[in-house]
Structure 1
């Protein structure tokens, strides 16, 4: 999966989720299903975007929940 395509999709999800977009919990399973790729590809792409400084993330108290934020 191309990193730029994933970033556009994630950015669109975040900006359409709230009136003043800042962050969103993203389901890698749902994104993988919608894009027709494996969960591993989505997780690796998100990790690359975090490493590039285009996204940041924090973990929620709930297990397996992460919040992604635009930079």
Structure 2
């Protein structure tokens, strides 16, 4: 999984979000389908980006408790 391509895609998804503050809940299965890889590769790539500080990850407080990704 190319982390730069993943970051570019996630970055554009977040910046085009209409939510305030801008965030996105990502379906790793759908992103994996777009890139033609397994969903656990996408999950690992997202976690690597969070660990590098390029993305922030929060958990929604209300159900359905999705993971949210924001730009730092």
Residue 21 of structure 1: CA displacement? Answer: 6.3
Deviations 1:51-70 (A, max 9, x none): 00000111123356110001
Q: CA RMSD in A?
A: 1.9
Query: Which structure 2 residue ranges, 5 or more long, are not aligned?
Result: none
Residue 5 of structure 1: CA displacement? Answer: 0.8
1:45-64 matches, within 5 Å, as 45-60=45-60, 61-63=62-64
Cα distance in structure 2, aligned partners of 1:24 and 1:64: 13
Residue 36 of structure 1: CA displacement? Answer: 1.1
Give the TM-score normalised by the residue count of structure 2.
0.85
Cα distance in structure 2, aligned partners of 1:63 and 1:19: 17
Q: How many residues of Structure 1 are paired with residues of Structure 2 in the alignment? A: 71
Give the TM-score normalised by the residue count of structure 1.
0.86
Query: Which structure 1 residue ranges, 5 or more long, are not aligned?
Result: none
Cα distance in structure 2, aligned partners of 1:33 and 1:64: 23
